[in-house]
């Protein structure tokens, strides 16, 4: 249930962020494409991101972790490549999109967290 809620939150955030970044981020077909983006982002973050982090560990250490932002942008660009109807124009747009998405996900997850 928690996984489905996270996918729903991510899909809604992708729709909102794409709307604000509309000339540079294209999200066709609305909610269906945003759900696909959320699922593909989750899969890429689970399978591909750890490999990228491992291979770029020296650069991540040298930049005190800031290179992880570049890895997040690469994940967004890969998602743009795999999901039809989702397009990000440039690397810097993907970087900004990933920063906004990460911050908004952290905020929303914190607000919807179960305090037991």
Give 69-111 pLDDT, tens digit per residue. 999 999 999 999 999 999 999 999 999 999 999 999 999 988 8
Give 12-36 pLDDT, tens digit per residue. 999 999 999 988 999 988 899 999 9
Give the model's pLDDT for residue 36. 95
HEC letters along the chain: CHHHHHHHHHHHHHHHHHHHCCCCEEECCCHHHHHHHHHHHHHHHHHCHHHHHHHCHHHHHHCCCCHHHHHHHHHHHHHHHHCCCEEECCHHHHHHHHHHHHHHHHHHHHHCCCCC
- pTM for the full model? 0.90
Chain mean pLDDT for the chain = 92
Give the model's pLDDT for residue 64. 95
């Amino acid at each position: 249930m928690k996984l489905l809620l996270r996918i729903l939150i991510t899909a809604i955030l992708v729709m909102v962020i794409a709307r604000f970044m509309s000339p540079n981020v294209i999200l066709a077909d609305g909610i269906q494409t945003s759900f696909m983006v959320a699922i593909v982002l989750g899969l890429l973050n689970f399978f591909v991101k750890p490999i990228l982090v491992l291979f770029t560990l020296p650069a991540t250490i040298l930049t005190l972790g800031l290179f992880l932002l570049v890895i997040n942008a690469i994940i967004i660009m890969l998602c743009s490549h795999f999901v039809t109807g989702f397009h990000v124009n440039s690397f810097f747009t993907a970087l900004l999109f990933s920063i906004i998405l990460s911050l908004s996900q952290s905020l929303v997850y914190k607000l919807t967290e179960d305090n037991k």
